[in-house]
Amino acid sequence: MQVPSLSLHAQGLRCSRLVVGVWRLAEWQMTSEDLLDFLHTCLDLGITTIDHADIYGDYTCEGLFGEALQKEPGLRDRLQLISKCGIKLVSSNRSQHQIKHYDTSRAHILTSVNNSLQQLHTDYLDLLLLHRPDPLMDADETAEALMSLIQSGKVRYVGVSNFTPSQYDLLASRLSVPLVTNQIEISVLHLDPFLDGTLDQCQRLRIAPMAWSPLGGGALFQRSEAQAQRIYTSLTKVGQELGGLREDQVALAWLLTHPANIVPILGTGNLDRIQAAVGAIDVKLTREQWFRIWSASTGTDVP
Ligand code: NAP
């Protein structure tokens, strides 16, 4: 089975329907060769889009990825590379930061992107996201920085992450290009975007949202909370009805069934789990199955 591609927006990036996120790359203990093998398998499966951020792995993941890419530069144009900026961590790799904070100033955005490009050994990002809403964001200044990155060719498309609809609207109002996605936390364990207007906005604007921690960051499998246990039991049952699907496949199919074209970002470096995720692509849950999982998550029937 092959993962299809979709456009995040009518004038937006074409990416794979499942994305691989490399937040945990530094924990995967992969050599550059391992990482290249991993990427080739992902590409064979149709997963072509990789989600980075400047801060992943305490500012090390882009560099690890870039080292591998440098060994096989031909891979670059077969991938869509996403990265993010706007969070400043207290880190031995950024000794000038005194407190964790956000920075969407022009100077920080431009510096961060130049650094991402250098670390990744590429001369463009397919998509740049502002990682978190910044209460001090000057929308004119931030928009101007994003436009200048597009004009210089360093960034093809721009978007946001963890923005409320009104934060999205504010920034969008100052840009002459669309914000092509809002990357948000959505999963069977995290239902807020279904209720707080975020997914409504995505459908209204016809932008595909990207789902981070689509399996609850692994909490679904640890089942240390009653909610996760209830959901897991429900996923098992629905998986049996669907001919023996795994719990992770049903949890992903639950997101993929939603009409907003949610794009799950897989957080595993385990190829068996990636392969299983690909098996969820064509699975459509019935309304009743979908709502059984919803009710298992909330712990109650819908009103
Ligand atoms: P996730 O897929 O929900 O969680 C990944 C974790 O779940 C890993 O520890 C993985 O362990 C475990 N896991 C996955 N499948 C499993 C299975 N079948 N059985 C048991 N354990 C399983 O996603 P995530 O890593 O939290 O987030 C995904 C991506 O979203 C990140 O890489 C990053 O790119 C992005 N992200 C964005 C933001 C943002 O603010 N924009 C925030 C967080 C994350 P193994 O590694 O052992 O498989």
pLDDT tens track for 32-81: 999 999 999 999 999 999 999 999 999 999 999 999 999 999 999 999 99
| Residues 231, 247: Cα–Cα separation, whole Å | 9
Residue closest by Cα to atom 9 of ligand 1: 218
Pocket test residue of 231, 273, 274, 275 for ligand 1, highest count of atoms within 8 A of CB: 273
Pocket test residue of 215, 220, 263 for ligand 1, highest count of atoms within 8 A of CB: 215
- Ligand 1 mean position, distance from CA 158 (Å): 23
Q: What is the pLDDT of residues 153-192, one digit of tens each?
A: 999 999 999 999 999 999 999 999 999 999 999 999 999 9
| Residues 216, 186: Cα–Cα separation, whole Å | 8
Q: What residues pair up with 129 in beta bridges, in sequence order?
A: 84, 159
Instruction: Give yes or no for residue 246 having a pLDDT over 90.
Output: yes
Confidence class for position 11, pLDDT limits 50, 70, 90: confident
Indicate which atom in ligand 1 lies nearest the CA of residue 273: 18
Confidence class for position 214, pLDDT limits 50, 70, 90: very high
Catalytic (active-site) positions: 56
Q: Is 24 in the pocket of ligand 1 (CB under 6 A)?
A: yes
Query: Which pTM was predicted?
Result: 0.98
- Ligand 1 mean position, distance from CA 49 (Å): 15
Phi, psi of 20 (to 5 degrees): -100, 130
